[in-house]
């Protein structure tokens, strides 16, 4: 009988502690209510330079297939931001950093790349996350340049940013269910 009581208490503690141990979103959600109600989106690459816009369009085309990354996002992708009036617009901004040794910028070496993914509704940001290619740290020791071509780094950074978005959508939807 005592064992059953202890077991019940142990399970109760676990059930109470589980929601507290749930991970917080990786990105910054500025409007949780709006973020929770998103059903459709588009990816706008019109403000990006040609090579970056091409890489983003290639990413969306490749990853918007069954069992690919964008199929895991529970929102519907609208192919054209000017038509179909999606709930939100996803915009990406690439940032390139040249390695620094001491206080001197090292020219002629590979870039360190980061990306900012913004989800906007009516021109105000609802969500924002910063990511780097998966094999690149954004920590204090991120001076090491990448060996991959810039297009590969961009694709990988976009993948990482969308993966973070998908995880945050899951976290928020699990929190709203409880």
DSSP symbols for 64-129: SSTTSGGGGSSSEEPS-TTSS--SEEEEEEEEEE--EETTEE-TTSPPEEEEEEEEEETTEEEEEE
Q: For residues 113 and 146, is the Cβ–Cβ distance under 8 A?
A: yes
- Would the CA dihedral through 161, 167, 169, 175 be positive or negative? negative
Tell me the per-residue pLDDT of 14-33, one tens digit each, with 9 for 90 and over. 554 445 445 788 899 998 98
pLDDT band at 101 (very low <50, low <70, confident <90, very high): low
pLDDT at res. 111: 57
Answer with the residue of higher pLDDT: 96 or 94.
94
Q: How far apart are CA 112 and CA 153, in angstroms?
A: 9
- What's the topology of domain 25-177? Double Stranded RNA Binding Domain (3.30.160)
Tell me the per-residue pLDDT of 145-166, one tens digit each, with 9 for 90 and over. 456 788 888 999 999 999 999 9
pLDDT at res. 139: 44
Domain boundaries, the chain: 25-177
Q: What is the largest CA-CA distance in the chain?
A: 73
pLDDT at res. 49: 92
Give me the chain's average pLDDT, please: 79
Q: Cβ of 112: how many Cβ atoms within 10 Å?
A: 22
pLDDT at res. 104: 60
- Would the CA dihedral through 52, 56, 80, 35 be positive or negative? negative
pLDDT at res. 17: 47
């Amino acid at each position: 009988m005592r064992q059953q009581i202890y077991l019940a208490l142990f399970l109760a503690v676990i059930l109470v502690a589980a929601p507290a141990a749930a991970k917080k979103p990786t990105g910054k959600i500025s409007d949780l209510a709006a973020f929770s109600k998103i059903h459709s989106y588009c990816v706008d690459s019109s403000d990006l330079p040609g090579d970056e816009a091409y890489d983003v369009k290639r990413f969306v085309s490749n990853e918007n297939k069954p069992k690919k990354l964008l199929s895991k996002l529970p929102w519907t992708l609208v192919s054209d931001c000017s038509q179909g009036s999606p709930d939100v617009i996803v915009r990406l901004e690439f940032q390139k950093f040249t390695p620094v040794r001491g206080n001197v910028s090292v020219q002629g070496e590979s870039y360190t790349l980061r990306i900012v993914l913004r989800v906007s509704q009516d021109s105000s940001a609802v969500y924002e996350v910063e990511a780097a290619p998966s094999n690149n740290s954004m920590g204090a020791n991120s001076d090491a340049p990448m060996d991959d071509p810039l297009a590969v780094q961009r694709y990988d950074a976009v993948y990482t940013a969308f993966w973070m978005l998908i995880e945050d959508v899951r976290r928020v939807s699990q929190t709203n269910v409880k």
